[in-house]
Amino acid sequence: MTNEFIHFEKISRKTWQNLHRKTTPPLSQTELNSIKSFNDKISLQDVTDVYLPLTNLIQIYKRSKEDLAFSKGIFLQKASKRQPFIIGVSGSVAVGKSTTSRLLQILLSRTFSNATVELVTTDGFLYPNAYLQKQNLLKRKGFPESYNMELLLDFLDNIKNGQNFQIPVYSHEIYDIVPDEKQSVTAADFVIVEGINVFQNPQNERLYMTDFFDFSIYVDAEVKNIETWYLDRFKKLLTLAKEDPTNYYHPFTSQPENEVMKFAQNVWKSINLVNLQDYIEPTRNRAEIILHKTENHMIDEIYLKK
Q: Flag whether pLDDT at 142 surpasses 60.
A: yes
With residues binned 3-state (H G I as helix, E B as strand, rest as coil), the percentages for the chain, rounded to 5, are 50, 20, 30
Local structure of 66: helix, strand or coil: helix
Tell me how far apart the alpha carbons of residues 275 and 142 are, in angstroms, rounded to a whole number: 8
pLDDT in tens, 178-226: 999 999 999 999 999 999 999 987 665 667 788 899 999 999 999 999 9
User: In terms of pLDDT, which residue wins out, 119 or 37?
Assistant: 119
What CATH number does domain 6-303 carry, 2.40.50.100, 3.30.930.10, 3.40.50.300, 3.40.1390.10? 3.40.50.300
**Confidence (pLDDT) at 86:** 97
**Confidence (pLDDT) at 17:** 94
Local structure of 184: helix, strand or coil: strand
In Å, how far are 129, 202, 206, 237, 290 from 273, measured between CA atoms? 21, 20, 27, 19, 19
Select from 297, 178, 173, 177 the least CA-distant residue to 238: 173
171 is in an annotated binding site: no
Q: What is the CA radius of gyration of the chain?
A: 20
- Residue ranges of domains in the chain: 6-303
pLDDT in tens, 66-90: 999 999 999 999 988 889 999 999 9
**Confidence (pLDDT) at 208:** 75
97 is in an annotated binding site: yes
**Confidence (pLDDT) at 194:** 97
Q: By the 8 A CB rule, do 67 and 214 touch?
A: no
Query: DSSP states of 6-47 as a string?
Result: TTEEEEEHHHHHTTS-----SS-HHHHHHHS-TT----HHHI
95 is in an annotated binding site: yes
From the CB of residue 239, how many other CB atoms can be counted at a distance below 10 Å?
A: 11
91 is in an annotated binding site: yes
96 is in an annotated binding site: yes
Mean per-residue pLDDT of the chain: 92
Mean pLDDT calculated for residue range 39-53: 91
94 is in an annotated binding site: yes
pLDDT in tens, 247-286: 888 988 999 989 999 999 999 999 999 999 999 999 999 9
Q: Flag whether pLDDT at 48 surpasses 90.
A: yes
**Confidence (pLDDT) at 204:** 55
**Angle 82-84-90 (CA atoms, 0-180°, nearest 5)?**
160
Tell me how far apart the alpha carbons of residues 196 and 142 are, in angstroms, rounded to a whole number: 8
Q: By the 8 A CB rule, do 88 and 210 touch?
A: yes
Q: By the 8 A CB rule, do 195 and 155 touch?
A: no
98 is in an annotated binding site: yes
Select from 134, 109, 227, 128 the least CA-distant residue to 178: 128
Tell me how far apart the alpha carbons of residues 288 and 122 are, in angstroms, rounded to a whole number: 19
